[in-house]
């Protein structure tokens, strides 16, 4: 039977090419007209350990990975015991005879297909390294998928290595395809190319955000590499020459944010990509950006901590930290995109917000959203909607016409002062890290301190008007309302669909992507209308629930929390709902 919801998982060790193979197969499936959601899983080591890549395939758009596996491709012996329990009845496990010398224990309803993957790779491509290409060919043969999209990806990905490498991998894929076809009659799950499907993009959250930032005028990126934030630096560096972006691989995170503040001070739209540990080091300089009213964008792809934590895993535990980071009080924006489309918008929107209000704009992503790959329609990123809003930025002509003293920190009703870039003779001023007067000169007097604090805080009146309340998904009247933020959107969206398929009107969700300043009126209205509110977060303390309670007084009725370093799946959420379902309006914290 042809299925519309299937997962293929390839597993091996770091160095086996698991991630590149998974990403390439996602590209091939996208070119075949199918929707995919690809997710790598890897340890923080260069070689060894266990890595795997899950590729979910459907004829409809996908927003999440899933737990059931239909076809497991094992490049190492360790892969089988780690994933065998996820393989569904009727599924198959393909493994390399050279790696798995003892026949694996049987799994009811699952067929094992031992194949000489290493030998086939050696015979066709001249190297055992090509066995990942062989095993993907096997997957295509088993599922009945046309091999031509995979061949086009091979030509593209290996073209720079020379025709010999291309021909070897094409031969390896073909050999695997023919081997898979021999067992295709016993494998019930099939894929069919959709030639009528429109061309689609296959992009990660990192690529979506980076593209949005580039479209939004980002021209300076400085970072010290830290997974999973550093791929933004890699993407920008790869496109720097083509689009005129200055990229700086700095000696540490402090230098990274200070360079970005300097670039933003001179008028460049400046970005600092990092993760939570790197942001920790930037906190003092974040205060410098606030005191000097310099617009800078910081992108935090969260991972578990404290300290180094789990370097290649997932968490949503930096929300309250980023909201209150740095000493004293100052306004900031906090955005948390939940989908690839929202990542693109956050990429350009954050720069507009930072410049309009001359304050830092912080973007909260996480490992899951950063590395997950999805197919998107070609129009999913609306470039026509991209706007460049620079706020109160004075032009050279306006400065030429100035007939009064220029005050960089002039007191205004909005709290936003006319901003001049350094270099104009009529706009010479000091950008001070100490408290200062409207001209920028250090001033410790009581009256000035009160005035400048109130000036900065008054920006919040306009800032909150820029923010949207939560987006509802599912029926307006529902028994249970799940409350989430950021990347939890995808798994929870599917869980809501599954619950409503079982019982119409059972569930809906409220997803927050604009976290601060919080627009209290729409937020309070949305929460107050819910019959039962359950927070769903990838942290141990329900941080969004804490924020909402502090701002609205509304308490969650329960929470489903996950803090094992792995993202939610729809199945995980459903299991918690079914386990904890009560007749009362009280679900315990899932700890």
**How does pLDDT run along the chain (591 residues), one tens digit per residue?**
555 689 999 999 998 999 999 999 999 999 999 999 999 999 988 777 899 999 999 999 999 999 999 999 999 999 999 999 999 999 999 999 999 988 888 999 999 999 999 999 999 999 999 999 999 999 999 999 999 999 999 999 999 999 999 999 999 999 999 999 999 999 999 999 999 999 999 999 999 999 999 999 999 999 999 999 999 999 999 999 999 999 999 999 999 999 999 999 999 999 999 999 999 999 999 999 999 999 999 999 999 999 999 999 999 999 999 999 999 999 999 999 999 999 999 999 999 999 999 999 999 999 999 999 999 999 999 999 999 999 999 999 999 999 999 999 999 999 999 999 999 999 999 998 999 999 999 999 999 999 999 999 999 999 999 999 999 999 999 999 999 999 999 999 999 999 999 999 999 999 999 999 999 999 999 999 999 999 999 999 999 999 999 999 999 999 999 999 999 999 999 999 988 654 333 444 444
3-state class (DSSP) for residue 269: strand
Quick one: how far is CA 472 from the chain centroid? 20
CA distance 302 to 317: 7
Length of the chain in terms of residues written: 591
| CB atoms inside a 10 Å sphere around CB 115 | 22
Domains and CATH numbers, the chain: 5-197 (3.40.920.10), 203-385 (3.40.50.970), 471-590 (3.40.50.920)
Given a contact cutoff of 8 angstroms between Cβ atoms, the answer to whether 224 and 195 are in contact is no
Place of tokens 């030639």: 195
Helices (H) and strands (E) in the chain, counts: 21, 21
| CB atoms inside a 10 Å sphere around CB 530 | 21
User: In the chain, what are the helix, strand and coil shares in percent, each to the nearest 5?
Assistant: 40, 20, 40
CA distance 256 to 355: 19
Crossing angle, helix 148-158 and helix 18-31, to 10 degrees?
Answer: 130
Residue 161: CB partners within 8 Å, gap ≥ 6? none
Residue 475: CB partners within 8 Å, gap ≥ 6? 500, 504, 505, 508
CA distance 44 to 376: 29
CA distance 236 to 244: 10
| CB atoms inside a 10 Å sphere around CB 378 | 9
3-state class (DSSP) for residue 425: coil
Per-residue model confidence (pLDDT) at position 554: 97
Q: Where are the beta strands (DSSP E) in 322-447?
A: 333-335, 361-366, 373-377
Q: Which residues pair with 301 in a beta bridge?
A: 365
Taking alpha carbons only, the member of 296, 299, 291, 285 closest to residue 354 is 296
516: left (phi over 0), alpha (psi -120 to 50) or beta: beta
3-state class (DSSP) for residue 173: helix
3-class SS string, 481-498: EEEEEHHHHHHHHHHHHH
Per-residue model confidence (pLDDT) at position 162: 94
Cα dihedral across residues 440, 443, 448, 452: positive or negative:
positive
Q: In what order do the strands lie in the sheet with 35-41?
A: 111-115, 87-96, 69-74, 5-14, 48-58, 35-41, 373-377, 200-204
Given a contact cutoff of 8 angstroms between Cβ atoms, the answer to whether 92 and 104 are in contact is no
Given a contact cutoff of 8 angstroms between Cβ atoms, the answer to whether 7 and 53 are in contact is no
Burial 99-111 (b: 16+ CB within 10 A, else e): bbeeebeeeeebe
| CB atoms inside a 10 Å sphere around CB 80 | 20
Return the structure tokens found at 552.
Answer: 């609205």
Our CA dihedral for 394, 396, 400, 402, rounded to 10 degrees, sits at: 10
CA distance 370 to 206: 5
Our CA dihedral for 213, 215, 216, 217, rounded to 10 degrees, sits at: 100
Our CA dihedral for 58, 60, 61, 64, rounded to 10 degrees, sits at: -50
CA distance 545 to 560: 11
CA distance 117 to 21: 15
Crossing angle, helix 131-143 and helix 18-31, to 10 degrees?
Answer: 40
């Amino acid at each position: 039977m042809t299925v519309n919801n299937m997962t293929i998982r390839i597993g091996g060790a770091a160095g086996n090419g698991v991630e590149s193979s998974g990403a390439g197969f996602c590209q091939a499936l996208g070119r075949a007209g199918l929707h995919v959601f690809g997710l790598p899983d890897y340890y923080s080591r260069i070689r060894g350990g266990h890595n795997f890549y899950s590729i979910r395939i459907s004829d409809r758009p996908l927003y999440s990975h899933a737990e059931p596996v239909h076809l497991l491709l094992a490049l190492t012996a360790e892969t089988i015991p780690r994933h065998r329990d996820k393989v569904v009845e009727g599924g198959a496990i393909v493994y390399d005879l050279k790696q798995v010398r003892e026949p694996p224990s049987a799994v009811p309803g699952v067929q094992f297909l031992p194949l000489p993957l290493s030998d086939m790779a050696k015979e066709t491509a001249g190297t055992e390294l090509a066995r990942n290409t062989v095993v993907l060919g096997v997957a295509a043969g088993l599922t009945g998928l046309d091999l031509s999209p995979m061949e086009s990806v091979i030509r593209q990905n290996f073209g720079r290595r020379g025709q010999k490498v291309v021909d070897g991998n094409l031969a390896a894929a073909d050999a695997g395809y023919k081997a898979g076809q021999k067992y295709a009659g016993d494998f019930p799950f099939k894929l069919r190319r959709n030639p009528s499907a429109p061309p689609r993009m296959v992009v990660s959250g990192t690529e979506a955000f980076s593209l949005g930032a580039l479209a939004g005028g980002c021209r300076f990126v400085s970072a010290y590499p830290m997974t999973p934030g550093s791929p933004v630096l890699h993407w920008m560096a790869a496109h720097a020459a083509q689009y005129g972006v200055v990229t700086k691989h700095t000696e540490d995170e402090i230098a990274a944010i200070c360079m970005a503040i300097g670039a933003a001070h001179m008028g460049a739209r400046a970005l600092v990509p990092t993760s939570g540990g790197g942001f920790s080091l930037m906190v003092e300089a974040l205060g410098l950006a606030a005191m000097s009213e310099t617009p800078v964008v910081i992108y935090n792809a969260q991972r578990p901590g404290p300290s180094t934590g789990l370097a290649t895993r997932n968490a949503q535990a930096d929300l309250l930290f980023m909201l209150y980071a740095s000493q004293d009080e100052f306004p900031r924006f906090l955005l948390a995109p939940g989908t690839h489309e929202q990542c693109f918008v956050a990429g350009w929107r954050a720069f507009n917000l930072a410049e309009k209000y001359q304050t830092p704009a912080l973007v909260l992503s996480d490992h899951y959203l950063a590395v997950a790959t999805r197919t998107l329609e070609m129009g999913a990123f609306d470039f026509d909607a991209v706007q460049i809003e620079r706020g109160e930025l004075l032009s050279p002509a306006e400065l030429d016409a100035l007939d009064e003293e220029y005050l960089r920190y002039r007191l205004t009703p909005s709290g936003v002062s006319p901003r001049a870039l350094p270099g104009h003779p009529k706009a010479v001023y000091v950008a001070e890290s100490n408290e200062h007067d409207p001209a920028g000169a250090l001033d410790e007097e009581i009256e000035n301190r009160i005035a400048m604090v109130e000036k900065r805080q008054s920006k919040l009146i306009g800032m909150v008007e820029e923010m949207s309340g939560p987006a509802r998904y599912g029926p307006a009247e529902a028994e249970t309302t799940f409350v989430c933020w950021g990347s939890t959107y995808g798994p929870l969206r599917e869980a809501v669909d599954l619950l409503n398929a079982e019982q119409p009107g059972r569930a809906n969700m409220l997803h927050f992507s604009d976290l601060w300043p919080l627009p209290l009126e729409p937020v309070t209205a949305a929460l107050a209308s819910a019959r039962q509110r359950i927070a769903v977060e990838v942290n141990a303390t329900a941080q969004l629930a804490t924020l909402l309670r502090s701002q609205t007084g509304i308490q969650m009725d329960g929470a489903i929390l996950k803090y094992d370093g792995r993202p939610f799946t729809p199945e995980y959420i459903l299991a918690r709902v079914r386990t904890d379902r009560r007749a009362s309006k009280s679900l315990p914290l899932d700890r």
